[in-house]
């Protein structure tokens, strides 16, 4: 097909040309002085982006690896971890915890809002023997477009007087939704490269606070590749305990430079603006977002219910075939009921206008019940916010 492909899934996202060019640099010796300086720059940049006064550990992995690293470094076999099921990815994380031999106690959720801090507090207050080792929360649930208020979760843990660690998945929120490891009171922040960081898949990280670093001393879960102790020792000299993803680290350095140039406040404002414009379009179409709590709407993506009795997957297939645009699918209980619009990372007003135009034309093509005018509503919001 002529023209560019519109990749509007909520990750992997579009990679800026300058990041691709950085990744294409010749590979260098990962035990040499130039690589040691690269390590120093990217680790410093990641600490700044996470707003973490502790250490950041980078792995050649996906976000699933970062989930596992956070758990095996802070828990022991048989420990209980408290998980809040905000959606498909929170569910997967709880299943991963169970596969490691942990008892995953899951608070069920509606999948239409973020985690409820009061529910977390109630469970912790009942845990008078402090068997719960950690509370695990997905900051931005990629399957639903719902954000959990991490500072409120931290306050709920503290109000319960419970010593549990707070482990936060920022895989689809870091660099797109306001977040601070230190100010929000996280003990471990979990993330990866292919969302707001504007990189291909292949890098994952844990940002680790003082309480979590203390916990690793008594945690008895088997670990080798994921060991914080091993990676920290190697990082002191700018190295890694295994062959790192050298060229992805070149890309990360360039992506962090983009963050510095645009400025994180401006980047977050841009994401919020595009998300609000997208919701204006959805409302004008007469459709419904999965997230039904205005305080929990995501700036990374918008998940939209497809009209009852019609196939969201057939709609997505038609949009791909006709307009060369990829939209995110519904996952687990939302399969074939939802489509997801990614609006994060390397993204601007014209890209959003093109994306929403493709959606509106697709709705008409599939004869899905809707009202026209969603694109115009979004454009009106964008124009108003420019004035």
pLDDT at 387 over 80: no
Same domain for 91 and 157, yes or no, is: yes
In a domain, 1, yes or no: no
**Does residue 64 belong to any structural domain of this protein?**
yes
293/221 same-domain check: no
Cα 199 from chain centroid (whole Å): 13
Structural domains in the chain (count): 2
Structure tokens, 8: 């509007």
Q: Are residues 241 and 296 in the same domain?
A: no
Query: Does the pLDDT at position 344 exceed 80?
Result: yes
Are 133 and 188 a contacting pair, CB within 8 Å? no
- 38 near 250, Cβ under 8 Å? yes
276-296 residue pLDDT tens:
999 999 999 999 999 999 999
Of 260, 289, 323, the residue at which a domain comes to its end is: 260
**Cα R_g (the chain), whole angstroms:** 21
CA distance 138 to 376: 33
**Using a CB cutoff of 8 Å and minimum separation of 24, what contacts does 371-376 make?**
371/284, 371/285, 371/286, 373/284, 373/285, 374/280, 374/281, 374/282, 374/284, 374/285, 375/281, 376/284
Q: Which two tokens stand for residue 80?
A: 């209980």
331 falls in which pLDDT band (50, 70, 90)? very high
Task: Report CA-CA distances (Å) from 361 to 32, 301, 355, 366.
Answer: 53, 20, 10, 9
Q: What is the mean pLDDT of residues 36-54?
A: 98
Strand-strand pairing, 301-305 and 338-342:
antiparallel
Query: Given this model, what pLDDT does residue 303 score?
Result: 98
At residue 386 the predicted structure's pLDDT band, cuts being 50, 70 and 90, is confident
Distance, CA of 199 to CA of 245 (rounded, Å): 12
Q: What is the mean pLDDT of residues 178-189?
A: 98
CA distance 316 to 164: 42
Mean pLDDT of 185-203: 98
List the domain range (segments joined by +) for residue 309: 6-12+263-386
- Do residues 131 and 174 lie in contact, with contact meaning Cβ atoms separated by under 8 Å? no
CA angle 2, 302, 278 (to 5 degrees): 70
Query: Do both 70 and 172 map to the same domain?
Result: yes
| Other Cβ atoms within 10 Å of 332 Cβ, number | 12
In which band, very low, low, confident or very high, does the pLDDT at 19 lie, cut at 50, 70 and 90? very high
Nearest residue to 97 via CA among 117, 86, 82:
82
Which residues neighbour 187 within 8 Å (Cβ) at sequence distance 6 or greater? 74, 134, 165, 166, 167, 208, 209, 211, 212, 215
Domain end: 231, 260, 289, which one? 260
pLDDT tens by residue, 60-96: 999 999 999 999 999 999 999 999 999 999 999 999 9
Task: Give percent above pLDDT 90 in the chain.
Answer: 99
CATH number at residue 357: 3.90.1150.10
What's the pTM value of the predicted model, to 2 decimals?
0.97
């Amino acid at each position: 097909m002529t023209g560019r492909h519109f990749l509007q899934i909520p990750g992997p996202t579009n990679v800026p040309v300058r990041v691709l060019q950085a990744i294409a640099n010749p590979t260098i010796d990962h035990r040499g002085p130039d690589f040691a300086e690269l390590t120093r720059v990217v680790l410093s940049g990641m600490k700044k982006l996470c707003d973490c006064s502790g250490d950041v550990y980078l792995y050649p992995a996906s976000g699933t690896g970062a989930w596992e690293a956070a758990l095996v470094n802070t828990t022991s076999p048989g420990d209980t971890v408290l998980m809040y099921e905000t959606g498909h990815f929170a569910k997967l994380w709880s299943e991963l915890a169970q596969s490691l031999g942990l008892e995953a106690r899951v608070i069920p959720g509606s999948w239409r809002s973020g985690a409820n801090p009061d529910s977390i507090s109630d469970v912790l207050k009942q845990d008078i023997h402090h068997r719960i080792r950690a509370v695990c929360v997905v900051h931005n649930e990629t399957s639903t477009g719902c954000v959990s208020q991490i500072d409120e979760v931290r306050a709920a843990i503290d109000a319960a007087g419970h010593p549990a660690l707070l482990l936060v998945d920022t895989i689809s929120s870091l660099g797109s939704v306001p977040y601070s490891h230190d100010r929000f009171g996280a003990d471990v922040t979990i993330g990866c490269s292919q969302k707001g960081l504007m990189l291909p898949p292949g890098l994952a990280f844990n940002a680790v606070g003082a309480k979590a670093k203390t916990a690793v001393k008594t945690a008895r879960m088997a670990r080798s590749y994921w060991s914080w102790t091993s990676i920290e020792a190697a990082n002191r000299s700018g190295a890694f305990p295994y062959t790192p993803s050298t060229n992805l680290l070149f890309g990360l350095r360039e992506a962090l430079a983009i963050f510095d140039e645009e400025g994180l406040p401006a980047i977050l404002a841009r994401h919020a603006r595009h998300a609000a414009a997208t919701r204006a379009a959805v409302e004008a179409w007469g459709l419904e977002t999965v997230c039904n709590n205005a305080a929990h709407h995501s700036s990374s993506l918008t998940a939209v219910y497809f009209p009852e009795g019609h196939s969201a997957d057939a709609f997505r297939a038609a949009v791909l075939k006709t307009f060369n645009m990829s939209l995110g699918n519904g996952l687990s209980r939302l399969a074939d009921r939802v489509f997801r619009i990614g609006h994060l990372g390397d993204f601007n007003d014209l890209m959003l206008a093109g994306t929403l135009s493709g959606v509106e034309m697709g709705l008409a093509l599939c004869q899905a019940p809707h009202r026209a005018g969603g694109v115009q509503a979004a454009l009106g919001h964008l124009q108003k916010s420019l004035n």
